Amino acid sequence: MYAPILKKLVEKTDTYIERCLPIPGTVLVKEGDLVRPFDRLGECTYSQKRTSYPKNFKPSRFKGDKQFYYSGSNMGKIGKTDIAVPFNGNLFRKDDGTFVFNAAEDRYILLAGVWGTVHKIAENRAILIKTQTRDLLFAASTQINVSGELVVFPNPVEILEKYYLESFSKNNEGKIVYVGHFADIEVVKRANEMGAVAVLAGSAHKETFNYAKSKGLGFGLISGFGKLDTPEPIYKLLSIIAYRYVFLDGQKNTLRIPHSADDFVVKEEIKVEKAEKVKKGGKKTKSGKNEKEKVSSINPTLELPNSSIVKEIAVGMDVVCLQPPNFGKIGVVDSLSESSIFVKFNTEKASVEIKLPNFFIIE
Amino acid sequence: MPTGSRYILACYFDTSDISLVLLSLDSNNVEFFNFPYKYSSAAFSNQTNEAGFNKDVIETFLKNKKIKTSDIEVITCGFIEVPPVDIETKQSLKLVSIIKEIEEFYPFVVNEFSVLTKDSILSYEMCSEKSQDIDGGGSNELANLSIYPQIIPVDILTSTELDRSIAAKVESLELGYKSKDALTFSGSRFSRTILYEYLDWILAFDLVRKPGIYEIFLDRRNAIPLFNIIKKYKPEILLNPKPYLEVLGTLINSQGETECLLTSDVGTSQFFDVKKDGFYVVPMLHEAPSSLSIKSRSLGNLNISVSGGKVGLIINTGNSSLFNNVKVFNDCVKQLSLCTPRY
């Protein structure tokens, strides 16, 4: 019996990531420089916020083409409602007679976000960095490319998700938030209102995915649609790299997790976990020999151009199940039959029959 | 033929699986292989592209058979489009172009989203993110199917819903098969692991709507597409797919009340009257042909010889889909499940 190999995590050693200033400015690095995530690549000065007002907005004290207002002061009225100035800035009249309020220009600093080498600089604005990433493949994602600091919720029960969103991480603006096994639509709506650039989860209903798509929100599902768990090894990886700057490439269904060339934290964590499980004792095989217990895990796989994507299923292999009620879970093949496999999941003692082709080998 | 080529490997890529047949040019022996998976960009794009995936499937098969790539000539065929393969192929054909030339049977090629017949392509919806677009109106299950096209539902409800949508595609369409034709059902809907075999049978019977008498065959190995692409490549090689087909039996589609008298070759007889909108199965072995007298408004009075099969003699007196009437559908399941060894 043969099945394809799914590699949720792939180690890429030649990733190119473009970091870009919103407008041309001063680039502080040169080609060939080594950079780390908090190194400054460049800076520029520009208005970073903008608010548009409807036709019935009547400004007060507006003279000429633009007018400066201080934050909190009265800017005018919409109908009978006073409008307060949201931030220091200038009000402009557009050609169609409506008004737009731009925040006062402020300094913007572009950080590297990755460990790597500056490969190319273009137009005092874009810096291409050659780096290494660990790429997590999503089952589905909206076609949005964003980057931001990763906030990881501790796989909370649904009732706590909103609580975590509002209390545990108060400032979600510009962040990529992993909300747990299942992304409820209310949580995704709230994350969008709070300015998160992307929401990640094990699973979500289709309507939630559609909502995220309609709002232009980055949205990545690790296992698929429905109420499915995030495989434990992936959740552990996300926990380890929480607060790191990550890149969601929605067009490639991928979350790019940058790491330094000598970063073995994740691999080491997995090794320790495996060793601990093995220490707990082995299991007896049919032949009576004592065998080290195989622990389900996902190791980041180094890209090997000549390795086949199809393999013969064997006892002891890790598989990801695509059959309810274990859809999305990773287990270990316990035995094989003609057209199905029997899989042991961490949470269950007995093995579960999974029909071919409702599974993938996972590496 | 190039020196050293001892085999022809024909590959048929459907929307959910890949079927292969290896033909030995020395012995004329054929060997089938079904790989019940297909390339999905959502699952494999971080490792390879479609051409690389298909190449790996073929090479794995050849490695298992201990055959060198230099010893084979690869020919490929796709359901609508021929998918790319990172191996030198001698010929690549679209199934649409070869299905028209099949004479011996009237072929239906069915997958989860479409039905292709000799004279029609019915609602081709590619199982991809583009057409399903994930944000379409469907369910979580359908969205997961667009990510992992190989998934076979393991609950009867989802299976039936998918079959109902396939059956709806042939609703009231005039297809070119005639009474007494042998109808074959190929495609990934029938070539993959069976979970509820009787659901396959119900779908096959339901896709035949015109009144008439038909011999029904399931092509679980996709022998018909595979043999026909070989025939197109080397017309001198004649392969008969019939031994590789599963014979279900004789289907009598008679819209309205039908009276039948079945007489076996040893002289025993059985009379049955099937009311309008009824479904009735008489278990009959393929090796035991019997004579049947039929009296029906749509078929008239007929005396015919019928042969059975895995199901036997099937009489359907409804004029709409079996999936549209819960009572009839349940009756089908009840009767056909008795023909399935597992149930």
Domain boundary among A263, A282, A307: A263
Q: Are B48 and B102 found together in one domain?
A: no
The answer to whether the beta carbons of residues B318 and B325 sit under 8 Å apart is yes
Cis-peptide into A86, omega within 30 deg: no
Per residue in B173-225, pLDDT (tens digit) is: 778 888 888 999 999 999 986 678 889 999 999 999 888 999 999 999 999 99
Find chain B residues with C-beta within 8 A of A360's C-beta: 43
For residues B58-79, give the mean pLDDT.
90
Q: Are A229 and A281 found together in one domain?
A: no
Per residue in A66-125, pLDDT (tens digit) is: 889 998 888 888 888 888 988 899 999 888 888 999 998 889 999 999 999 999 999 889
Q: Which residues, 6+ apart, have CB-to-CB distance to B300 below 8 Å? A: none
Q: How far is B192 from chain A (nearest CA, A)?
A: 8
Q: Are A150 and A227 found together in one domain?
A: yes
Q: Return the DSSP state at B36.
A: -
Question: What is the SS3 assignment for B336?
Answer: helix
Residue at A25 is within a domain: no
Residue A155: pLDDT band by 50, 70, 90 thresholds? low
Find chain A residues with C-beta within 8 A of B37's C-beta: 3-4, 357
Six-digit token pair at B29? 């022996």
Residue at B137 is within a domain: no
Pairwise CA distance, residues A183 & A208, whole Å: 8
Six-digit token pair at B69? 């790539």
CATH number at residue B26: 3.30.420.40
Q: Are A150 and A251 found together in one domain?
A: yes
Find chain A residues with C-beta within 8 A of B150's C-beta: 357-358
Q: Are B110 and B68 found together in one domain?
A: no
pLDDT at position B134 over 70 = no
CATH number at residue A171: 3.50.30.10
Judged by CB atoms closer than 8 Å, whether chains meet at A135 and B52 is answered as: no
Q: Give the 3-state secondary structure percentages of chain A, helix then strand then coil, rounded to 5.
A: 15, 45, 40
pLDDT at position B126 over 70 = no
Give the pairing of strands A301-302 and A9-20.
Answer: parallel
Q: Are A88 and A171 found together in one domain?
A: no
Domain boundary among A104, A126, A148: A104
Q: Are A248 and A270 found together in one domain?
A: no
pLDDT at position B42 over 80 = yes
Q: Are A155 and A233 found together in one domain?
A: yes
Q: Are A201 and A295 found together in one domain?
A: no
Q: Are B176 and B274 found together in one domain?
A: yes
Domain boundary among A209, A236, A263: A263
Rounded to 5°, the CA angle A326-A331-A333 comes to: 115
Domain count, chain A: 3
Residue numbers of the domain that contains A95: 48-104
Interface check A327 vs B, CB under 8 A: yes
Residue numbers of the domain that contains B263: 98-122+153-337
pLDDT at position A304 over 60 = no
Interface check A10 vs B, CB under 8 A: yes
Residue at B142 is within a domain: no
Pairwise CA distance, residues A334 & A232, whole Å: 19
Q: Are B89 and B189 found together in one domain?
A: no
Judged by CB atoms closer than 8 Å, whether chains meet at B143 and A357 is answered as: no
Residue at B127 is within a domain: no
Residues in a beta bridge with A40:
A111
Q: What is the pLDDT of residue B135?
A: 44
Would you put residue A214 in left (φ > 0), alpha (ψ -120 to 50) or beta? Answer: alpha
Find chain A residues with C-beta within 8 A of B46's C-beta: 7, 10, 135, 137, 252-254
Interface check B284 vs A, CB under 8 A: no
Interface check A310 vs B, CB under 8 A: yes
Question: What is the SS3 assignment for B87?
Answer: coil
For residues B149-159, give the mean pLDDT.
85
Residue A27: pLDDT band by 50, 70, 90 thresholds? very high
Q: Which residues, 6+ apart, have CB-to-CB distance to A283 below 8 Å? A: A290, A291, A293
Tell me which amino acid residue B59 is.
E
CA-wise closest residue to A3 among A346, A340, A297: A340
CATH number at residue A291: 2.30.30.30
Facing residue for B192 by CB, picked from A6, A140, A357: A357
Tell me which amino acid residue A13 is.
T
Residue at A328 is within a domain: yes
Interface check B112 vs A, CB under 8 A: no
Q: What is the pLDDT of residue A274?
A: 53
Helices and strands in chain A: count of H runs, count of E runs: 5, 32
Judged by CB atoms closer than 8 Å, whether chains meet at B48 and A322 is answered as: no
Residue at A7 is within a domain: no
DSSP A14-40: EEEEEEE-SS--EE---TT-EE-TTSE
Q: Are A167 and A242 found together in one domain?
A: yes
At which residue do the structure tokens 């800076």 appear? Answer: A43
Residue at B139 is within a domain: no
Cα B101 to Cα A105, B104, B184, B231, B333, distances in angstroms:
72, 9, 14, 10, 35
Q: Are B320 and B304 found together in one domain?
A: yes
Q: Are B224 and B317 found together in one domain?
A: yes
Pairwise CA distance, residues A57 & A98, whole Å: 8
Q: Are B91 and B113 found together in one domain?
A: no
Residue at A109 is within a domain: no
Q: Are B76 and B178 found together in one domain?
A: no
Q: Are A219 and A154 found together in one domain?
A: yes
Q: Return the DSSP state at B264.
A: -
Interface check B264 vs A, CB under 8 A: no
Interface check A192 vs B, CB under 8 A: no
Q: What is the pLDDT of residue A227?
A: 86
Residue at A128 is within a domain: no
Residue at A244 is within a domain: yes
User: In B123-267, which residue ranges form alpha helices assigned H by DSSP?
Assistant: 129-132, 140-147, 156-169, 188-191, 197-207, 223-233
Q: What is the pLDDT of residue B336?
A: 87
Residue at B22 is within a domain: yes
Q: Are A316 and A301 found together in one domain?
A: yes
CB atoms under 10 Å from CB of A261, counted, come to 11
Q: What is the torsional sign of CA A180, A181, A184, A188?
A: positive
Q: Are A174 and A285 found together in one domain?
A: no
Q: Are A145 and A254 found together in one domain?
A: yes
Largest CA distance in chain A: 91
Domain count, chain B: 2
Q: Are B288 and B201 found together in one domain?
A: yes
Helix (H) or strand (E) holding B41: helix B41-44
Among A47-61, A128-142, B23-37, B49-63, whose mean pLDDT is lowest?
A47-61
Q: Predicted ipTM?
A: 0.86
Cα A14 to Cα A149, A258, B309, distances in angstroms:
22, 11, 59
Q: pTM of the predicted model, to two decimals?
A: 0.80
Judged by CB atoms closer than 8 Å, whether chains meet at B45 and A252 is answered as: yes
Q: Are B73 and B112 found together in one domain?
A: no
CB atoms under 10 Å from CB of A83, counted, come to 18
Cα A263 to Cα A148, A149, A269, B239, B273, distances in angstroms:
20, 18, 11, 59, 78
Residue at A317 is within a domain: yes
Residue at A38 is within a domain: no
Q: Are B227 and B113 found together in one domain?
A: yes
Closest-CA residue of A relative to B134 is A206
